[in-house]
Amino acid sequence: SFFPQKNGISNGTLYKKTFIEHFEQAPMYVAVFTFVGFAVGTIFGYLRDFMRAWGLEKRNIAAEREQQKDFVPLYQDFENFYTRNLYLRIRDNWNRPICSVPGPQFDLMERVTDDYNWTFRFTGRTIRNVINMGSYNYLGFAETDVNALKTVTIELKKYGTGVCSTRQEMGTLDKHVELEKLVAKFLGVEDAMVFGMGFATNSMNIPALVGKGCLILSDELNHTSLVLGARLSGATIRIFKHNNMQSLEKLLRDAIIHGQPRTHRAWRKIIILVEGIYSMEGSIVRLPEIVSLKNKYKAYLYLDEAHSIGAVGATGRGVVEYFGMSPDDVDVLMGTFTKSFGAAGGYIAGKKGLVDFLRTHSHSAVYATSMCPAVAEQIIRAMKCLMGLDGTTQGLQRVRQLEKNTRYFRRKLHEMGFIIYGNDDSPVVPLLLYMPGKIGAFARRMLEKNIGVVVVGFPATPITESRARFCVSAAHTREMLDTVSTADVLGDVEKSSFPLESSGERGYLSVPKPLVLSW
Amino acid sequence: MTESSAMALGSAWKQMSWLYYQYLLVTALYMLEPWERTVFNSMLVSIVGMALYTGYVFMPQHIMAILHYFEIVQ
């Protein structure tokens, strides 16, 4: 029924199973209406700024004191034009405070605004049992079941919560050593090191691995933590097009042929930074091709598996297992525990020499507080569950359930005719909205139906491609996924745009026909 | 007013308000405050009204000019 675009696989023999990714382009009038929407917002933004500047309207933004009016301006008004005039109008869809565990359903604090999102106040009521399509809870380990958290409570009573030191001083607990051994065993590598924060793992460890005179080849759509780490390191950064192997190969060849910019000396190191699953696109990295390129041109590979560890692969071991490759192919395996393990923190794994080097040379290892022992125990119990070491098959069941939920949800949304980006196997499902008016409308209407979603616009995405990002979880039931995909609001908000060669049966009234999906 | 005509009116009203909602979404008027929507709508209605009025006033002249060009009428 739908046309999968194979997106130009250059070397299809490296792939052991079909690799289908969708990046369908919307029709031209959608782009026209998107620009019209932004134009209207911009014109009214100028109008409101004019009124604020001339005192016709109360100014709610930060301003200097009267005595400092002639000084160098502290708050550059115009630069925040977009924030003040477009983001602020629909600001109530972000930073919503929740007051329960972010499981498949959660509770929200009800929040209203009297002056169009300049200030908020809490009414005191709680919105209960909102279906959670925004939390990164891929395997459903964010739970409050007392039996599941038994070992965590024991460790909490034994160690307390604070570590009060860095890894280098007195913050290395036996729990960290146990966790690192377990992570290394889970991934099939020699050694691993864990850090307290996932963002800091990337931004503090890349400067330890590369420096001036090295070359970083980074994907176009890499996460801010990777970009920050690359910039902090002082190495030269070159960007290749998203998941595009021809672009990467061209950059590698240019780097080796021409060397460093002025002196033409060979680069000290060439490192390729990619992610396992890209969180805004839902696309999976083309690992077999990248590994063959890296072996051919003698470069190093740094793989950030923040969203893919636990979420893809036959037993949840990430993209390396998904493609059937060995973990020795990747030089630096990085990942986070925030997404699939219901905890916080990150790890870097690889050869023993690499990890020993990072233990002394990484900023995060030397200066940052180490992971809380109760959180470490949560990761240990989640990982043991995944590996089957706790004596049950619950871990494997969770991975299979996530796979089933992902396929079901994606297929259902495709059959209904929405534009979804990304690989068929990735649990991150971005639904394209395009027009700025729809961003706020979608999130608000979904909340009215008791479904919580994350909508993203500029600058996290390109300005014309704003989207709603669903994160499928193993803890979601079939009924929850049905509720979300057949929510009336999807029809109301989406139906105006897309003719969709995929489904010809949709009319223009609000309720889409319920589908019977054959498994 | 019979029941069926009331129902037809009700569903026409629902259809019209759904169309207005789509118009608000597509032109990003949904994000604006009510007075801004009024400003935009009145400007749009006045411009479209003026265009239609001009068309209505000049339509006979334009049709005569076209027919004269194609030498159907002298």
pLDDT in tens, A142-173: 988 898 899 999 999 999 988 999 988 888 99
Cβ B28–A37 below 8 Å, yes or no? Answer: yes
Q: Which phi and psi angles does A347 have, rounded to 5°?
A: -140, 160
* pLDDT tens-place string over residues A84-112: 899 999 999 999 999 999 999 999 999 99
ipTM exceeds 0.95: no
Q: Is the pLDDT of residue A325 over 50?
A: yes
The answer to whether A30 touches A464, Cβ cutoff 8 Å, is: no
A369 with A196: CB under 8 angstroms?
A: yes
A491 vs B54: which has the higher pLDDT:
B54
Question: Tell me: the pLDDT tens digits for A240-277?
Answer: 999 999 999 999 999 999 999 999 999 999 999 999 99
pTM for this one? 0.86
- Provide, as residue numbers in chain A, all residues whose Cβ is less than 8 Å from the Cβ of B21: 492
SS3 state at A125: strand
Q: Does B29 touch chain A (CB under 8 A)?
A: yes
Supply the pLDDT for residue A494.
54
The phi, psi pair for A129, rounded to 5°, reads: 55, 50
Radius of gyration of chain B from Cα atoms? 20
Residue A11: predicted pLDDT: 59
Is a pLDDT exceeding 70 seen at residue B56? yes
CB atoms B27 and A33 under 8 Å: yes
d(C-alpha A272, C-alpha A219), whole Å: 8
Tokens for A85?
Answer: 């005039």
Q: What is the pLDDT of residue A64?
A: 80
- Higher pLDDT: A179 or A61? It is A179
Instruction: Give mean pLDDT, residues A319-336.
Output: 94
Residues 6+ apart with CB under 8 A from A474: A138, A139, A140, A398, A399, A401, A402, A405
pLDDT at residue A283 tops 80: yes
pLDDT at A489: 59
Residue A210 has pLDDT above 70, yes or no: yes
Q: Does B26 touch chain A (CB under 8 A)?
A: yes
Q: How confident is the model at residue B4 (pLDDT cuts 50, 70, 90)?
A: confident
**What is residue A480's predicted lDDT score, i.e. its pLDDT?**
92
Give a three-class secondary structure readout of A374-413: HHHHHHHHHHHHHHCCCCCCHHHHHHHHHHHHHHHHHHHH
Tens digits of residue pLDDT in A26-44:
889 999 999 999 999 999 9
Residues of A in Cβ contact (< 8 Å) with B40: 40, 44
Least confident range of A22-26, A93-97, A174-178, B14-18 = A22-26
Phi, then psi, of A62 in degrees rounded to 5: -65, 135
Mean pLDDT for the stretch of residues A375-389: 94
> Which residues in chain B touch residue A92, judged by CB atoms under 8 angstroms apart?
none
Rounded Cα distance between A203 and A228, Å, is 6
pLDDT at position A225? 95
Choose the closest CB to B26 out of A33, A38, A47.
Answer: A33
Chain B partners within 8 Å of A509 (Cβ): 15, 18
Checking if the pLDDT of A368 tops 70, the result is yes
Nearest to A41 among B21, B31, B33 (CB): B31
Instruction: Provide the pLDDT for residue A19.
Output: 84
Whether A415 shows a pLDDT value over 90: the answer reads: no
Q: Which residues of A touch B (CB under 8 A)?
A: 33, 36-38, 40-41, 44, 47, 86, 89-90, 116, 435-438, 440-441, 492-493, 496-497, 509-510
On chain B, the residues whose CB falls within 8 A of the CB of A510 are 18
Flag if A36 and B26 touch (Cβ within 8 Å): yes
Write the CB contacts of A265 (distance below 8 Å, at least 6 apart in sequence).
A259
Question: For position A356, what pLDDT does the model report?
Answer: 95
Tokens of A347: 């790890």
pLDDT at position A299:
95
Give residue A506's pLDDT.
35
Mean pLDDT over A203-224 rounds to 94
* A119-131: average pLDDT: 93
Mean confidence (pLDDT) of chain A: 87
The verdict on B35 touching A (C-beta cutoff 8 Å) is no
